[in-house]
């Protein structure tokens, strides 16, 4: 039997995902060691491997088949637009992609002014402004702390994830428009889905049943 490999998006999400997997009998003790510098973890009994990757790299590992299954946010899937199967919405890590900025920017959005939009998600921002709103804008790619952009005058608005809204509030910014809701998804490599259909289908069914019961 060959190994089924999981790529998990590093961070908050990975911990929650490991808990779900544990509850359906998929455990990986060595992954829990907070001191470990190991990158890949193996469960020999189940013939499964797990690794943590930067969220934006998860769809890449899955598309190329280096991982059979990936668990990652819908934000990353939309931004990376990789060829893979999105098979299940875990319903965790719920948040939304928003256009945010100071209240004064609301009018500029309404009047379709040529504004600057800063985002860690340039593709999502471009798709929203060009294809949904039909507004020409200049998109500026940033790598984090995007809320700074309207404060220091780099851009009029941002396109970013809003979960509790605390970051925006503490920086005097508001949600101006909602782009889409987000949550964690299970994705599968297209070849693995055919070659390992039975094991992968059972796994997804177990996760789904467990998640549905929790609702």
Q: Does residue number 161 form part of the binding site for ligand PRP (CB under 6 A)?
A: yes
Q: Does residue number 165 form part of the binding site for ligand PRP (CB under 6 A)?
A: yes
Q: Does residue number 104 form part of the binding site for ligand PRP (CB under 6 A)?
A: no
**Binding range to ligand PRP, per CB under 6 A, among 85-93, 104-112, 156-164, 188-196:** 156-164
Q: Does residue number 162 form part of the binding site for ligand PRP (CB under 6 A)?
A: yes
**Binding range to ligand PRP, per CB under 6 A, among 28-36, 79-87, 102-110, 160-168:** 160-168
Q: Does residue number 30 form part of the binding site for ligand PRP (CB under 6 A)?
A: no
Q: How far is the CB of 83 from ligand PRP (least distance, A)?
A: 26
Q: How far is the CB of 94 from ligand PRP (least distance, A)?
A: 11
User: Considering only residues 145, 178, 197, 201, which one is a binding residue for ligand PRP as defined by CB under 6 A?
Assistant: 145
Residue number, 65 or 165, with CB nearest to ligand PRP? 165
Q: Can you give the three-state secondary structure of the chain, one letter per residue?
A: CCCEEEEEECCHHHHHHHHHHHHCCCCCHHHHCCCCCCCEEEECCCCEEEEEECHHHHHHHHHCCCCCEEEEEHHHHHHHCCCCEEEEECCCCCEEEEEEECHHHHHHHHCCCCCEEEECCHHHHHHHHHHHCCCCCEEEECCCCCCHHHHHCCCCEEEEEECCCHHHHHCCCEEEEEEEEECEEEEECHHHHHHCHHHHHHHHHHHHHHHHHHC
What is the contact surface with ligand PRP in residues (CB under 6 A)?
Answer: 120, 144-147, 160-167
């Amino acid at each position: 039997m060959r190994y089924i490999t999981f790529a998990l998006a590093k961070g908050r999400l990975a911990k929650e995902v490991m808990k779900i997997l544990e509850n359906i009998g998929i455990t990986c003790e060595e992954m829990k060691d907070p001191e470990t510098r190991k990158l890949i973890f193996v469960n020999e009994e189940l013939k499964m491997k797990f690794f943590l990757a930067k969220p934006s790299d998860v769809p890449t590992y899955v598309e190329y088949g280096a991982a059979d299954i990936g668990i990652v946010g819908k934000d990353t899937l939309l931004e990376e637009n990789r060829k893979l199967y999105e098979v299940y919405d875990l319903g965790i890590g719920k948040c939304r992609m928003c256009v945010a900025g100071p209240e004064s920017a609301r009018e500029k959005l309404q009047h379709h002014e040529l504004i600057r939009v800063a985002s860690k998600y340039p593709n999502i921002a471009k798709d929203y402004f060009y294809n949904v709103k039909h507004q020409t804008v200049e998109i500026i790619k940033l790598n984090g702390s995007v809320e700074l952009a309207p404060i220091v005058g780099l851009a009029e608005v941002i396109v970013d994830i809003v979960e509790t809204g605390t970051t925006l509030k503490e920086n005097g910014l508001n949600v101006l428009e909602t782009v889409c809701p987000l949550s964690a998804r299970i994705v599968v490599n297209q070849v693995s889905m055919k070659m390992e259909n039975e094991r992968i289908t059972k796994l997804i069914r177990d996760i789904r049943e467990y998640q549905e019961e929790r609702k």
